[in-house]
A and B are shown apart, each in its own frame.
Chain A
């Protein structure tokens, strides 16, 4: 329903021109549902991620970010649709497919009774590493996480930030071309968050394809070049940060109406003088206009004439946070 209004833009931006070889992740019209749930948790999501991209997957709690990553990592099966990583499907080559992706789970997936080094050794071997190669990758990971002398201590004695960094470093052991991080900075100090962001930028520069989920907009804004916004299982916007800012921020009039009226209102307002574009998503109608305050009386009059009554209204330039709020009708809550 939103697709025809141009709000979801799977073929928009860089994705449109991707050759198969450039496309690291290809999620094609995927629907996924948990057992005994009425609504799908992922609802016809199409998302292409180019090789080397650092994509921020943004969405409030319960939007389906973890579910989408689970599908990507073959922890969960889609009900319909297809997923390819570097052109490969899980069902065709399960083991090789898993070798392509490093998952940094939302929960800290480490053995607390084991030391940092022991955790790295265990997961390194589980990933198929051994011998000199394992030791080299472990050294890299210890360095990457900044474990230093803490490497010989049990993980249960680590600070939250150090655990998060080790959690990330563990996923990097097999040096996978695709790295998938599920809210990797939840509940840590700003320094650790900064360190992780620096690490990710470095990895991105080195050519890894990274998906980074968060419900913190500022974090995504700082870190990622490409953004996808997920809400209630649907991808409601996707594109470069600049493109999204241009589309959803700036001089705007946001009108909230009864959901059944939104489409009609969009039709009524599309001919108004000074209104450059009209988009409707759910109960929200957004007008891009040269001067919101000057145009507002005429807009309201046009609605009145069509017997449409807005229930909410906001006028003026917005930042992405407000854009997100108006798009999803949801606050980006802080607590998971």
Chain B
């Protein structure tokens, strides 16, 4: 009974203090809402499903052979493509055109090389697609390239038949007909995964960042209690540390849930009014609640961990904010993972925010249910639990007689 009253007191003081701290509430709830609005609209076209007309293509020829020039000629004739040729050759040029596709300066980069370095071997056509392109557009690009190769094969076949007929020599039909080029679609270019719309990326991304940003006001609130001497008074009272911790966890958990709901509501109903796409949230509300709760626990765990380590408000704001921004940058929050180079993409999985984002997008973009989010959910829960455990131990030690 006593614990219950104490818990109520802990909740009351935290809630009242929060309600009266307008700046903190603005940071926690309004900031992500504004960000989602701006970023979703600003990046609308980057994530757009409509096909840009004409699509820009950069071509790098490393063979200087007949095939490549004919291939380029066919692509140039296609009205839906605008082909430019990379003048330089070599490895650097190849990196450059690949980057052009990855960052979206062109829709596709095409590199023509030799398979085995010999003049007689068939060419290899490597296609890099801008990962932000919708799957249909990428498929279109692949089929255009495939058509061009097939077209050249047919021409070659016809000319060979004609040669065989004219000379009357044997063997024309006996020769194995080898295609003049082999198409390689670079990884990440067309693995068939549907890509998120602008709001499907931005809404969960900024909501997650704001959740973790909670580390700042959470630690500031604890530091203020230390500075105001309130913690000293509480230490002198018969209150266990878990009551005080619960008094912090629960209100901030609720705030995070409100914040997320605001952002999702905004994406679904407000954004379309401003000309953006409505947020498609998939068909698994249960999974959505689970992944949101797991991300929330991870965020609060991290916040409390920071709170028990920092000693001043300056440390809380600088360390809290910077660490969260770094986590966000790595985790594909500030910049979507799909436009990162492969090495960075591998790095992203160390950020808890990337687990959260992946979980949300599993539901929103890939249309998955509870089973689809389980790996992300578990990772978030384990991370949150470890943080909470360490924070609780440290807090308990702080409250105990020194």
**Chain A interface residues toward B at CB < 8 A:** 35, 73-77, 90, 94-95, 98-99, 101, 103, 105-114, 118, 121-130, 154, 170-171
Contacts and interface: CB of A to CB of B under 8 A. Distances in A.
A111 B230 CA distance: 7
B275 interface: no
B45 interface: no
Given A109-B233, A114-B13, A121-B12, A128 B238 contact: yes
22 contacts: A74-B236, A75-B401, A77-B401, A94-B238, A98-B237, A101-B236, A103-B232, A103-B236, A105-B236, A111-B16, A113-B16, A113-B21, A114-B17, A118-B13, A121-B9, A122-B9, A122-B12, A125-B8, A126-B239, A128-B2, A128-B6, A171-B233
CB-CB nearest 6 A-B residue pairs:
A107-B229, A125-B9, A109-B233, A109-B229, A103-B236, A98-B238
Nearest to A106: B229
A125 B6 contact: yes
Contact of B237 (A107, A112, A127, A154): A127
Nearest to B12: A122
Interface string B1-13: 1100110111011
Contacts of A95: 238
B5 A98 contact: no
A95 B234 CA distance: 13
Interface in B318-347: none
Contact of A90 (B8, B228, B401): B401
Contact of A129 (B5, B20, B21, B233): B5
B401 A110 contact: no
B167 interface: no
A124 to B, nearest CB: 8
Given A75-B235, A77-B401, A111-B17, A126 B228 contact: no
Question: Could you say which of A94, A109, A122, A154 has the most chain B C-beta atoms within 10 Å of its C-beta?
Answer: A122
Nearest to B8: A125
A118 B14 CA distance: 11
Contacts of B10: 126
A103 B232 CA distance: 9
A95 B3 CA distance: 12
A126 B236 contact: no
A118 B238 contact: no
A78 B201 CA distance: 57
B230 A110 contact: yes
B118 interface: no
Contacts of A127: 237-238
A90 B233 CA distance: 17
Contacts of A125: 5-6, 8-9, 12
Contacts of B21: 113
B238 A123 contact: no
Contacts of A121: 9, 12
A46 B393 CA distance: 34
A26 B146 CA distance: 93
Interface in B224-268: 228-230, 232-239
Contacts of A105: 229, 232-233, 236
Nearest to B2: A128
A126 B17 contact: no
Given A126-B234, A127-B238, A74 B401 contact: yes
Contacts of A170: 233
B371 interface: no
A103 B2 CA distance: 20
A73 B5 contact: no
Contacts of A129: 5
Contacts of A73: 236
A111 B5 contact: no
A150 to B, nearest CB: 17
B120 interface: no
B175 interface: no
B174 interface: no
Interface in B1-48: 1-2, 5-6, 8-10, 12-13, 16-17, 20-21
A231 B230 CA distance: 28
Contact of A109 (B20, B228, B401, B402): B228
Contacts of B16: 111, 113-114, 118
A4 B235 CA distance: 38
Contacts of B401: 74-77, 90
A126 B6 contact: yes
A130 B8 CA distance: 10
Contacts of A113: 16-17, 20-21
A94 to B, nearest CB: 8
A77 to B, nearest CB: 5
A123 B5 contact: no
B402 A99 contact: no
B228 A110 contact: yes
A107 B5 contact: no
Contacts of A122: 9, 12-13
Nearest to B7: A125
Contacts of A109: 228-230, 232-233
Contacts of B239: 126
A77 B17 contact: no
Contacts of A103: 232-233, 236
B236 A107 contact: no
Contacts of B233: 103, 105, 109, 123, 170-171
A61 to B, nearest CB: 17
Interface in B352-373: none
A95 to B, nearest CB: 4
A103 B236 CA distance: 7
B319 to A, nearest CB: 23
A130 B17 contact: no
Nearest to B20: A113
A107 B228 CA distance: 7
Nearest to A115: B16
B228 A77 contact: no
Contacts of B230: 109-111
Given A103-B233, A114-B17, 16 more contacts: A73-B236, A75-B236, A75-B401, A77-B401, A101-B236, A105-B232, A108-B229, A110-B230, A114-B20, A121-B9, A123-B233, A126-B6, A126-B234, A127-B238, A130-B1, A130-B5
Given A122-B9, A128-B2, A98 B236 contact: yes
A234 B6 CA distance: 38
A130 B232 CA distance: 22
B335 to A, nearest CB: 38
Nearest to B13: A122
A128 B240 CA distance: 12
A35 B2 CA distance: 34
